[in-house]
A and B are shown apart, each in its own frame.
Chain A
C-alpha cells in the first residue's frame, strides 16, 4: 500500500487503535510555554497525577515575556513565576528568561536539534505546525490536551486527511518563503486546509533553506490545516547534523536511513492536491484582517463588491477596520510601525535578509521599528555577524527574544489606529494591540517599508 509522509509518521505512533475510537498516538516531544499550560498543571495537581515523561517535555517562556529591560507587569510576572514553579515541581527542563537557550518555543526546538524527522510533536500553540518543516508531524493543542499529554505522553486523535500543495517552478528573486505561503493561503483560503495535514512538495519547496521551510509550515494553521510538513532531505540532514540533540555516530547513520524511508511513496494518493507555479508569485502584502486577504505589492486594495459573494461581507468589515479605501495602491499605504520578529520570521536567515536591506540606510523618521530575534541564540549569532549594529545604526530597536508584538501580550503593542508592517502570521483585528492594524509581509518587504515609510521593495529604495 502506498502511503504519504504524514500517514507513515502517524502509523508508527499508534499506541492503541480500536474501532469507532480515535487513535491513541504517542507523543515524542511535548513543548510547553507559560501561557496555555498553568491550568493544565493545576489539573494534574488536583488529580495528584505526575508528568509521565519529563524527559520528553521542554518548557520555555516566550509569549508573555518583556523583550527589553523593563520588568514584567505583576500579572505577567505571576504567569512567568507559575511556569518556573510548575517546571520545578514536575521535574521539567525549562529555559527561563535570561537563559541562553530561551526563545520562542518553535524557534528553540529546531535550533537545539530536538525537532527531528518522523517525530510527533505537540504544543499548546497553534503554530506548532512549524516543526513539520523537518518532516515531523506537529500540531497545536488546547489546555485540556496539554494536561492529557503531560499525564499520559499520548493524545487521542482522529486521523486527519492528506493534502498536497505542490509548488513547482522558479521563485522570483525578490520573493521569499513568506510570499510562497501567503500566496498559497490567498489561493486556498483560511479554511482551505481544515481537517488535513498539508505536505508541501515540489521543486520550489526543495530549493528553500530550512529557515524558509519553517516559515511555510508555520503558517499552515492560517490555512486552517491541522499540520504542515516537508519531507526530510539533504537540506534537513545538513541542517540537523551536529546540533546538540541530533543523533551522533552510528545512531546518525541509522537515523538517516529511517528518515529517508518516510518520504511519500511515488503513487500515494492525497485526498486533495493543489498545484502552484512559483514563477507566478510576487511579494505579498495583506490588506485585510485575515491572512487570506492579500494582494501583491504591485497591486491595490480590492473593491469588496468585486469579490466573490461569500468574501464580500468580511472584506467590507476588514476595510472599515483597516481604514483603507478600495483601489488604494499598496505602495501608497504608509505605516507607523515595523515589526520584524515571531515564530514565522525571526530566525537568523530572516534577520540577515532584513539587514541587507537596511544596511547604511535610516528608518523613516517618526516610524517605530523593532527587531525581536526568535531566540537568544539567534540574537547571539546575529550579534556575532554584526547585524545588531546594522539595525541599531538604521534606527531599529534591537530586543531580547520573545513573541512580542506578534500577539501583543507583552508591552510591545500598537497604539489604537497605528498601522504596522509585520513579519508575523496573523493580521486579525487588534492582534498587535487593541485598534492596531496589521499587514503581513516578508522580512525583506518589512525592512524596505521601514526605510520608505510605506510598503516597498528594496528595488524601490
Chain B
C-alpha cells in the first residue's frame, strides 16, 4: 500500500445519505477475481442518469467524494473501495461512514473522513457553488481545510500510522508469531477443527 499523507483537490458533491455498497459497485462486478477493473462499475446504476453528479463535467478529475450520512453501509465488499480509488478518489468525507467500509478504506489508503453534519453541508455548499473549490485533507494534522472551512476529523493513532506509512499489516502481525503460537497451546480442546 502506498503511503498517504495529504490529499488536496476538487471534490464531487454526491450529498445523498445511505449510499450503500450495492450503489458504489453493483454485485455483478464482484464476479471478477482481480483487484482491478472496477472503475467502469462505480455508481453504475446512478450514472445512467445524465444529471447524476458524476456525469457533470465540472467535477471531472475530483479526488475527494463528499456524501451524506451512513456512507458505505451494507456489504463487506472491498471492491467498493477499489472502484472509488480506481476512479481517482483518495478521500471520502461524510458525517458517518459504515464500519466495514472504513476498515477496508484504511487498508487501501483511501482516507475515511467523518465530519459533523453541518461541516459536511458547508463543504457541499462550497463545492456546489464553485466546482473549482480546493479541499485539503491532511492525515498528519487530521484536518480538512477549504476556503472558509477548517475542521478536525477523528482518526485513531494506529490508523493514522497505517495511512502514513502504508505498512504491510500481515508482516507486522507475523512478527508476533511467538504470541500466536503460545495462544494456540491454550485453546479449549473441544473447539472444532475442519476435517
B-contacting residues of A (Cβ < 8 Å)? 15-16, 20-22, 24, 26, 28-29, 35-36, 38-39, 42, 47, 49, 52, 54-58, 63-64, 75-76, 78-79, 82, 92-93, 113-114, 116, 119, 124-126, 140-145, 147-148, 151-154, 156, 158, 190-191, 194-195, 221, 224, 226, 245, 247, 251-252, 254-255, 258, 289-290, 310, 313-314, 317, 407-409, 426, 428-431, 434-435
Contacts and interface: CB of A to CB of B under 8 A. Distances in A.
A79 B33 contact: yes
B107 A79 contact: no
8 contacts: A20-B158, A42-B35, A58-B194, A114-B192, A142-B77, A143-B78, A148-B169, A226-B99
Nearest to B45: A430
A190 B18 contact: yes
B22 interface: yes
B158 A140 contact: no
Contact of B174 (A15, A151, A191, A255): A151
A20 B103 CA distance: 17
Nearest to B177: A152
Contacts of A29: 192
Interface in B3-37: 16-18, 20, 22-23, 26-28, 30-35
A426 B22 CA distance: 10
B173 A125 contact: no
Contact of A158 (B156, B173, B194): B156
A383 B179 CA distance: 49
A313 to B, nearest CB: 7
B98 A191 contact: yes
A42 B169 CA distance: 16
Interface stretch (B57-65, B68-76, B84-92, B131-139): B68-76
B107 A195 contact: no
B34 A39 contact: yes
Interface string B166-178: 0001100110100
A408 B156 CA distance: 37
B98 to A, nearest CB: 6
Contacts of B158: 20-22
Contacts of B100: 126, 140-142
Contacts of B194: 54-58, 92-93, 114, 245
A377 B174 CA distance: 38
B157 interface: yes
Contacts of A258: 188
B78 A79 contact: no
B152 interface: no
Given A152-B174, A194-B99, A145 B107 contact: yes
Contacts of B74: 126, 221, 426, 428
Given A141-B76, A194-B99, A290 B18 contact: yes
Contacts of A148: 169-170, 173
Contacts of B81: 142
Contacts of B99: 194-195, 224, 226
Contact of B33 (A38, A113, A154, A252): A38
A287 to B, nearest CB: 15
A49 B170 CA distance: 10
B156 A153 contact: no
Interface string B154-195: 001110000000000110011010011001100111111111
A49 B174 CA distance: 11
Nearest to A196: B99
Contact of A251 (B30, B156, B190): B190
Nearest to B174: A152
Contacts of A152: 170, 173-174, 180
B158 to A, nearest CB: 5
Contacts of A28: 187, 191
A186 B169 CA distance: 38
Q: Which of A28, A116, A143, A317 has the most CB of B within 10 A?
A: A143
Nearest to A321: B45
Given A140-B100, A314-B18, A409-B31, A36 B173 contact: no
B31 A47 contact: no
Given A64-B31, A148-B173, A317 B180 contact: no
Q: Which of A16, A93, A114 has the most CB of B within 10 A?
A: A16
Closest 7 CB pairs of A and B: A247-B190, A38-B33, A142-B104, A142-B78, A144-B107, A140-B76, A245-B192
B83 to A, nearest CB: 13
Given A21-B158, A113-B192, A428-B22, A125 B30 contact: no
B143 to A, nearest CB: 21
Contacts of A245: 192, 194
B33 A408 contact: no
A143 B96 CA distance: 22
A195 B102 CA distance: 11
Given A144-B78, A154-B180, 20 more contacts: A16-B176, A24-B173, A24-B176, A29-B192, A35-B31, A36-B30, A39-B34, A52-B180, A64-B31, A78-B31, A82-B33, A152-B173, A156-B173, A191-B96, A194-B70, A251-B189, A313-B17, A314-B18, A426-B22, A434-B26
Contact of B31 (A22, A76, A143, A428): A76
